[in-house]
Structure 1
Amino acid sequence: MDKKELEVLQQKVVRLRAEGKYKETIEVGYELLEHGLRLNDYKSMLTAYIHNAISFYCIGDIEKTFQSISAYQEICSQRGDDDDWLSLYNVSFFVYEMRKDTDKAKATLWKSIDLGKKLGRYNIVSNAYSNMSHVYMVEEDYENAWKMAKLGIEMAMLHTPRSEILELRVKLNLAKSYIGMSDLEISKALIDEIMQSPLLHSFVREKSQCYDLQGIWYAKQQQYKEAFDSFTTAKELVEGYNDVYLLKTIQEERCKLCELMGDVELGYVVQKEYIALLKEISDRKFALEALRLDVKHSLSMMEKKANIDSLTGVYSRSYVEGIANDWLKQASITGESIVCIVFDMDNFKAYNDEYGHLFGDEMIKLVGKVGVSILGNDEIIGRYGGDEFIMLLKYASLEYGMKKAEQLKAALQKITVDKEDKAITIQVSVGVSDNVSGRVALFEELFHVADTALYRAKNSGKNRICASV
C-alpha cells in the first residue's frame, strides 16, 4: 500500500465515523493502523486511534476507548502537532464528562482553551468555555457557569468569519446560568432574544434547546401550563432528530408538571409516552450491547488473524516477537533460560526455480507442520518470513536447544516429497542461541545471534546445526 492508498483509507475511516457506522469504523481503523505501522506513517496511526476512540465511546466500550486514547497520546507526545493534541483534548473531555469525572473534564477543557488561544482557533475556545459552563451547571455552581459562558461569547465574537450559531449556542448556557442564579428578568430577556433569531429555522437542535430552556424558566416562575407547553414543543422538535436521552429529561419534566397542575388525565397520557420512551431506550441499550459483542468478536477474529501466519498456520513474526520480549523481560528478573532456534530450508530457491512458487509454498507449509509436531510444553514456532522459521523454548538450556534442533532436523529428513518422478528430501540449516541466563533482554538481540549461527551453518556446508559462540 502506497501513501495515496493510505490517504484514501484515512478518508474512509473519517467518513464511516461521521455516518455513525461504528463497527465498520473500528474494523477499517485497525486496517489503517496496521498499514500505518508498516509504513511508519504517524498521521495514519493517529487517525485510526482517534476515530476508534470515538467509536468505542459511542458504543459504550469505555475500556477500549481509553486504550485507544492512551495509544493516541503516546504517539502524539512523540510525533503529534498542535491539531492532534486538540483532537485528543476534545475526545477526552466527552469521555470524562460521561464518567462524571468533572475534575478531569475541566482540566482537559483548560488545556483545550490554552492551546486553542495559542493557535487562534477561537471557535474551539468558545466551545470549550461553553462546555466548561455546562460542567459548572451540573455542579450547580451557577456563578462560575455564568463566567465561563461570558468568556465563551467573547471568544465566539473573535472567531472569523463570524459565526452567529456559535454565539447562540453559548448564549443558551448563559441564559441557563442566569436561571440558576435566580436572575429571572435577565434570563427571560435573553431567552426572548434567542427565540427571535432566524437561525433557529435552520438549527432544529438549538431550537429544541431554546424551548426546553423556556420551559425551565416558566417552571421556575410556577407558570406550570406555560412550562408544559414549552416542554411539549421541545419534545416535538427533539422527536425529529430522535435524541432519546434529551427526550427522557423533557418527558420527566412534563410528568412533574402534570402532577403540579393536578391534571390526572393528561398525566396518564404523558406517563404512557414516558413508558414507551423507556422501552425504546432499553431496546437501544440492548442493541448497543449486541453491537459491543459483535465488535468484540470481530476484534478477536482480527487479532487471531494477525497472530497467525496465513500460509502455514503457525504463529506470525509479530506475535513471536511479542511473546519473546515478554519471556525475555521476565527472564531478566528471574534469570531463567530462553532458547531461540532459527532455521530455513537449504537450496529453497532452487525448488522455486525448478518447480514453481506454488510447490515452494507447499514445502514451507510442510516444514511448519513438522515444526509444530515436535513442540513440547512452553515451546512455540512462528514463520519469520519466506522459508525462515523461529522456534522459542522457555525454561530450556542451550544444550536442550541443540537437542531440539537435532530432533527437528531428523524429523524433516525422514520426509520425502514426490515431484515429477523425483523423491525430494528436506534439509535445513539451523542456528541456536540463548539469552545467557537473562542477560539478553530483547528479541532482536536473541534472534540476531541465532541468525548469525544459521549463516555459519550455511557457510560451512549446509544441512547442519550451529550454536551461538
Structure 2
Amino acid sequence: MDDIGAWRSGETLELTLEELNKTIMEMRTKGYLTEALKLADQGLLLALESNNYAYVLDLYYQKILVHHSLGDTISIVSLIYDYEAICEKYGTSKDLMHYYLVMSLIYDLVGVREKTVEMTKKSIVYAQELQDVMMLVRCHNNLCYLEVEKGCTKEALRAGLLAREFNKTLYETQPDLAILQDIRINNNLADVYVLEGDFVTGKALLDGSLTSDIIPHHKREKVAALFGYGFLYEKQHKLEEAVPYYQQAIELAKSYGDKPITKKVMRLLLNVLYQLDWRDEIFDVQREYIDLSEQMSVDNLLQQVMNLDFKRQKEKLERKAHYDPLTGVLNRHFLDHELHEWLNAAKMTQSYVCITVLDIDHFKLFNDVHGHLFGDMVLQLLADGLKDFLRGEDVKIIRYGGDEFIVCIRHQQMEYIKALVKHTHAHLLTLTLEKNQQIYPLKVSMGACINDRINYHYKDLFEQADSCLYQAKDNGRASYVIYELS
C-alpha cells in the first residue's frame, strides 16, 4: 500500500483509488491517523494527476476527517478552500453531504453554534436522500452533541437514540466502524443522562467507553469519556473527584495538539477549582488557559472561518451578477467584461477558438401554444444539456438573450473542436420534454466559426457564426453549419 507509484496502470487506476480510499477509512477507524494521513496525501496526488475528481473529493474528505481526529483545526480550514471549489465544480449529492458535514465540524471548532446546526441538518437531508447509514449515524450523533451544548436534553436524547438505531444497521456492513460509533454515541448520551440527573445510566455508558478494547487507539474519544466523568462528578457535587478526570482529559488532548478541546475542558476545570477555592491550582490553570487563548488568537481561526463565509457570500452575489438566473449559465456580462481576457489567453497558448451560436427552432410556438412557463422549461433543458455534455471541456456557455445561446470553445486541435460541435448538436437533438403525456423533442439550429489562430476578434467570429446559424435555418433547421477561417 505504501508504494503508490507501483499502481499506475490505466485499467487498474479506478480500482486502486477505490481500495486506497477504503484502506484510509479502515485506518481511521482503527486509530492509525498519521499513517492514514500519509496515504491520503499520496492518493490525492495520484487522483489529481489522473483528473479523477470523484476520488479527489473523497480523499480531501478523508484528510479533513483525519485532521479533525488529530485536533488540527488550522489544517482543516486551509484545506476547505480547495475542497469547496472542487466540490462546487464536480461534486455529487454524496460530496455535498460530506461538504456540509465538514463545514459543521469547522463551525463547531470555532464555536459558531447556529451555523454548526444548520450545516449538520443540510448534511442529514442528503444522507436521507442517499440512504447513507454511516452519515445518518454520524450526523444524528453530532446533533445529539449540539443539543447537549445548548442544554436541550429531550432533543439531544432523541437525536442520540436515533443515531443508535441507525448504528445497528451499520453493524451489518461495517462492524469495526459501528463499534467506534457506539463509543461516540454513548459518550454523548452519557452527557444527556447526567444533565437529566440519571447518573447511574450516564456512568454505565462512560464505563463502557473507557473499558472498550479500541479506546487506546482513539484519543479524541477517550478525551470525551474522561471529560464525561468529570462532568458526571461535577453534577453530583463531587468536585474533588471531578478534578483528576478533567486534568487527564486536558493532558491527553494536549498530547495530540487539540487546542479547542483543551480550552473547553480547561474552562470547566477552572469553574470547579473556583468552587473548591484551590487558589494555587487556579493560578496554574488560568495562566495556561490565557497562554492557550493567545495562541489560538494568533492562529485566528474564527476570523479565517468568517472570511471564508464572507468570501462565499461575495461569490454568491457575483454569481448572481454574472449568471443567468433561469438557466444557470453565464449572461452577457461575460461577453462584455471577461471574454477579451479569455481570447487573449487562447492567443498566448495558440489555441484554436470556436464561437458557436445556437437557438431553439420555433421557440415562439412553444410559448404561444404551451405558455411561458413551458418555454422556460425548454430553455432550462437546453442549458442543462449543454452543461452536462460539455462538462470538463474548456468552454464558456452564455445565454445571449431569449432562446439564443453562445458557446465559446478553446482547444489545441481544430478537428477536436469540429467533432465537439457535431456531437454537441447531436446530443441536444436527443433531449425531450414531456407535457400532458406528450413528448416534445428539442430542435436546435447551430452555427459555428473556428478561427485560424490569427484572428482572435470576437466580433468577426461572432458575425460569421451568426451567418452560419441562418444557413442552418435555411437548410431546414435542426442542423448545424461550421465555417473555418483560413
TM-score range, shorter chain: 0.5 to 0.7
Q: Which amino acid aligns with 1:172?
A: N
Instruction: Pick closer, same or farther for the CA change 1:315–1:238 going to 2, 3 Å.
Output: farther
2:466 to 427, 431, 435: 435
Q: Quick check: 1:126–1:156 contact (8 Å CA) kept in 2?
A: yes
Q: Is 2:252 the counterpart of 1:265?
A: no
Distance 2:352 2:21 in 1: 27
Aligned to 2:197: 182
Kindly provide the CA deviation profile for residues 422-445 of structure 1, in whole angstroms up to 9, marking residues without a partner as x: xxxxxxxxxxx333499899xxx9
Give the 3-state SS of the residue equivalent to 1:127 in structure 2: helix
Aligned to 1:389: 453
Cα distance in structure 2, aligned partners of 1:226 and 1:437: 85
Q: How far, CA to CA, are the matches of 2:58 and 2:455 in structure 1?
A: 37
Alignment of 1:405-420 (within 5 A): none
| Matched residue type, 1:209 | A
Output the CA distance in 2 between the equivalents of 1:170 and 1:239. Answer: 23
Please give the residue correspondences for 1:284-299 in structure 2 after superposition, counting only pairs within 5 Å: 284=299
Does the CA-based 8 Å contact 2:259-2:296 persist in structure 1? yes
Report the counterpart of residue 412 of structure 1 in structure 2. none
Percent of aligned pairs sharing the same letter: 16
Q: Structure 1 pair 448/25, CA: closer, same or farther in 2 (3 Å)?
A: farther
Residue pair 2:354, 2:409 contacting (<8 A) in 1 also: no
Distance 1:192 1:24, change over 3 A: closer
Aligned residue for 1:389, secondary structure, equals: coil
How far is 1:340 from its partner? 10
CA contact (8 A) 2:246 2:269 kept: yes
Deviations 1:385-420 (A, max 9, x none): xxx63643134488xx8xxxxxxxxxxxxxxxxxxx
Q: Where do 1:161-240 residues align within 5 Å?
A: 162=175, 163-240=178-255
User: Aligned partners of 1:27, 1:319: CA distance in 2, in Å?
Assistant: 33
Letter in 2 for 1:262: D
Partner in structure 2 of residue 71 of structure 1: 89
| CA distance 1:324–1:262, shift in 2 (3 Å) | closer
Corresponding position: 1:150 with 2:169: no
Pair 1:270–1:72, CA change in 2 (3 A): same
User: In structure 1, what is the equivalent of residue 103 of structure 2?
Assistant: 95
State the 1:246 CA deviation.
0.8
CA contact (8 A) 2:160 2:185 kept: yes
Output the amino acid matched with 1:223: K
1:8-66 Cα distance to aligned partner (Å, 9 max, x none) = 57778997994169988776654332xxxxxxxxxx33112343466688234655543
Distance 1:132 1:20 in 2: 30
**Amino acid across the alignment from 2:278:** D
Aligned partner letter, 1:240 = S
Are the equivalent residues in 1 in contact too, given 2:140–2:162 (CA < 8 A)?
yes
| Pair 1:48–1:337, CA change in 2 (3 A) | closer
Shift of 1:5: 4.9
Which residue type is aligned with residue 222 of structure 2? K
Residue 101 of structure 2 is aligned to residue 32 of structure 1: no
Deviation of 1:213 after TM superposition, in Å, equals: 0.7
**Residue aligning to 1:449:** 482
Q: Which residue of 1 aligns with 2:257?
A: 242
- Residue 264 and residue 71 in structure 1: after superposition, are their counterparts in 2 closer, same or farther (change >3 A)? same
Shift in Å at residue 227 of structure 1? 1.9
**C-alpha distance in 2 between matches for 1:251 and 1:46:** 41
8 Å Cα contact 1:228/1:257 also seen in 2 = yes
Please give the secondary structure, in 2, of the residue aligned with 1:449: strand
Per the alignment, residue 349 of structure 2 pairs with 314
Does the 8 A contact of 2:57 with 2:87 survive in 1? Answer: yes
Partner residue in 2 for 1:329: 398
Q: Does the 8 Å CA contact 2:157/2:192 hold for their aligned counterparts?
A: yes
Which letter maps to 1:129? H
Q: Is residue 77 of structure 2 the alignment partner of residue 59 of structure 1? A: yes
Q: Residue 436 and residue 174 in structure 1: after superposition, are their counterparts in 2 closer, same or farther (change >3 A)?
A: same
Q: TM-score, normalised by structure 1?
A: 0.56
Q: How many pairs are equivalent?
A: 338
Amino acid at match of 1:435: D
Q: What SS class does the counterpart of residue 456 from structure 2 fall into? A: strand
Counterpart contact for 2:270–2:282, Cα < 8 Å: yes
Post-superposition shift, 1:231? 0.5
1:135 aligns with 2:146: yes
Asked which structure has the greater CA Rg, the reply is: 1
Distance 1:134 1:61, change over 3 A: same
Which residue of structure 1 lines up, in the alignment, with residue 329 of structure 2?
A: none
On the 8 A contact 2:148/2:156 being kept in 1, the answer is yes
Change in 2 beyond 3 A, CA 1:317/1:273: farther
What RMSD in Å do the two structures reach over aligned CA positions? Answer: 5.2
Q: Flag the 1:169–1:12 CA change in 2: closer, same or farther, 3 A.
A: closer
Matching residue of 2:271 = 256
1:59 is paired with a residue whose SS is helix
Shift of 1:184: 3.1
Report the alpha carbon displacement of residue 279 of structure 1 after superposing the two structures with TM.
4.2
TM-fit CA distance, 1:212:
0.4
Contact kept in structure 2, 1:440 and 1:446, CA below 8 Å: no
Aligned-pair CA distance for 1:243: 1.5
CA 173–337 in structure 1, closer or farther in 2 if over 3 Å, else same: closer
Contact 1:339 1:434 in 2 (8 A): no
Structure 1 residues 180 and 113: CA distance shift in structure 2, 3 A: farther
User: Amino acid of the residue matched to residue 92 of structure 1?
Assistant: Y
Would the aligned equivalents of 2:351 and 2:413 in 1 still touch at CA under 8 Å? Answer: no
Instruction: Note closer, same or farther for the CA distance 1:191–1:319 as it changes in structure 2 (3 Å cut).
Output: farther
> CA 1:226–1:343 in 2, change beyond 3 Å: closer, same or farther?
closer
Q: Unaligned regions of 5+ residues in structure 2, if any?
A: 1-8, 25-33, 65-74, 108-114, 309-340, 357-389, 415-449, 473-477
* TM-score, L = length of structure 2: 0.54
Determine the C-alpha separation between the residues in 2 that align with 1:336 and 1:93: 37
Q: Which residue of 2 aligns with 1:2?
A: 10
- Please say if residues 26 and 55 of structure 1, whose CA atoms lie closer than 8 Å, have aligned partners that are also in contact: no
Deviation, structure 1 residue 233: 0.8
